[in-house]
Structure 1
């Protein structure tokens, strides 16, 4: 099926264009020529590349850890599509080995069935640091075993991301994970600077929610944060909700890192896409929503009710980031992190994953593979 869209403004990943036509066929962009053999659909607003979120725990009332299934993944994906997310990694936080198997099977099924938006899986744990566990259950934090390595080595999971604490996983194991196609991120870690650098040298390429649940940077102890900011190659996920990271700290990180190495993430939980302030249960602990903040009753921050379009707007409003750059932080840069450079940009041959923003920068439409998934 071929279709042509003409938008008032189009952001192609680098520049804005006015009254730009985009022709789509078989889920990919085939032309920017205004001339087309099909009647165009004219869109009021700004068409931008779809957002890619590499850390999504839940949404639409569903939590991925809670009996993982393709139905849960579909619910989460549709909830986030309302906010412009066209690609995401369902994220499993630290859990029992059987839940890990179930999560992998659910993602494999979703990918086989081409479930809209599903790009792979993110295992956030269980090989973390107890002192920096946050709301991850200490009872499930453990050393890596052959059974977990076998899950991570599966070749039917799309993009595979594993967050681990390098003080608990040896460099040779990190190297083995990378060799079997895993993108290793460092996080929930109390590692010192030298240990973090050794993990980077072994092939780790990212840091999970920079500043949060990791050893801080000090004058004589750079810690995990110092290693993240110093690295020219590693990507850093950043939660811009005004609660997880102070705006000044976020500004410092963006200024310190090379362009393209800071990407927006949501760390989203079940309330995303829900209108009420209902609490939910996480490993037997109640998590309470108060506006745009989630806290366990024990006090810890417990993920977010942040969505990707909210993260873009917060980056502009709270951090003073240019809108073009904020859009890249939500699309092009995470696409590069997961090695899918045909996403996050508009160019001939690119995936037709697109978001139409209205004049108030709210999501009006979301397209995945050229198909309209959500309309306000």
Structure 2
């Protein structure tokens, strides 16, 4: 199948008048061409599909509450409407039985090739009590052999684990990394030395930078200071204008650059649904606009989607569009070790892309060359020759 893109961001630069040829769900060529050379015309800016490494829920479903195939399907479908073509469904701190059930569900989802699901993110349970956020205190614990074996399973796709390095030995971090696990630091009160030791042991990233981690101060760099200074680790950033101040967001992007800074949603079940309230671990999480809180007023995840994160980054942080798109696609794909299949529109990559309007709204989403979302019902049928709109 051949597609014509009037404007195409390939992960590095924006090109005009590109013809994408897809065979067996993969891109086999991207070259200069004309609409007449393609059977399907893509009206807008075509960009690599967004990759979200921290997604707790969507479509009215929270992974913790219902760790089933149906939940993963609902989550993926909900986020496809906002341009996400690959995600790590994220399990918040829970008991070992729920963790095992979530892992078994992930294994089945990968076997069934549920669109958009590429692995699992265990956010906890080996966290710091002072920085627990809404993670249930009753389930925060030291790592055991049972959990270690769970994280090292080979049938879960990409496995990411967020942990507090002051509560997990560096030898365990190294063991996890050697087993192929992506170790992120977060929900932690670690000092700079403990954080640096964890990086030296192999930790590759930081979960939702600034939030639930020891801060940068004049006399103590904290986890935030080490994260900003280190050139090799990746940082997730929630750009919903609720979790992080705009100046702090700009500082993070300036320090880390767009090849190490990832846009993430930390989305709860509210995204892609009319859901106003949700009960998790005995807490009522309520949506007010785009802000989610529990009764105490504490933030409880987000109602953010990836397309909105891109718009916020461009419109409110004044970051160039190409950098924002890179942080939403190419960089997270690199972080989770999918650099040869996701995050770019180049030969050999999966045919996953998003078609955006000029104001960065999602028109269409494609996974493996097949349309999985269209903003307009009439566009559920693929656009044909002669129907191309100006970008």
Tell me how far 1:44 sits from its aligned partner. Answer: 1.3
Aligned to 2:138: 139
Aligned to 1:163: 162
Aligned to 1:339: 337
Aligned to 1:100: 99
Quick one: distance in 1 between partners of 2:209 and 2:170? 21
CA contact (8 A) 2:19 2:37 kept: no
Aligned to 2:384: none
Quick one: distance in 1 between partners of 2:264 and 2:41? 31
Counterpart secondary structure, 1:319:
coil
Tell me how far 1:259 sits from its aligned partner. Answer: 4.1
Mapping for residues 259-274 of structure 1, pairs under 5 Å: 259-274=258-273
Aligned to 1:303: 301
Aligned to 2:234: 235
Q: Larger deviation: 209-218 or 257-266? A: 257-266
The count of corresponding residues between Structure 1 and Structure 2 is 373
Q: Larger deviation: 116-125 or 295-304? A: 295-304
Runs of 5+ unmatched residues, structure 1: none
Counterpart secondary structure, 1:160:
strand
Tell me how far 1:167 sits from its aligned partner. Answer: 0.5
Tell me how far 1:67 sits from its aligned partner. Answer: 2.7
Which residue among 276, 279, 289 is the counterpart of 2:277? 279
Q: What is the TM-score of this pair, normalised by structure 1?
A: 0.97
Quick one: distance in 1 between partners of 2:295 and 2:280? 11
Tell me how far 1:360 sits from its aligned partner. Answer: 2.6
Aligned to 1:23: 21
CA contact (8 A) 1:174 1:204 kept: yes
Runs of 5+ unmatched residues, structure 2: 376-391
CA contact (8 A) 1:4 1:36 kept: no
CA contact (8 A) 1:59 1:79 kept: yes
CA contact (8 A) 2:35 2:41 kept: no
Over the aligned positions, Cα root-mean-square deviation in angstroms equals 1.3
Mapping for residues 31-50 of structure 1, pairs under 5 Å: 31-33=29-31, 34=33, 39-50=38-49
Quick one: distance in 2 between partners of 1:26 and 1:216? 48
Tell me how far 1:359 sits from its aligned partner. Answer: 2.8
Matched, 1:255 2:259: no
Tell me how far 1:118 sits from its aligned partner. Answer: 0.6
Q: What is the TM-score of this pair, normalised by structure 2?
A: 0.93
Quick one: distance in 2 between partners of 1:314 and 1:371? 28
Counterpart secondary structure, 2:316:
helix
CA contact (8 A) 1:67 1:99 kept: no
Aligned to 1:325: 323
Tell me how far 1:37 sits from its aligned partner. Answer: 11
Quick one: distance in 2 between partners of 1:367 and 1:39? 16
Aligned to 1:215: 214
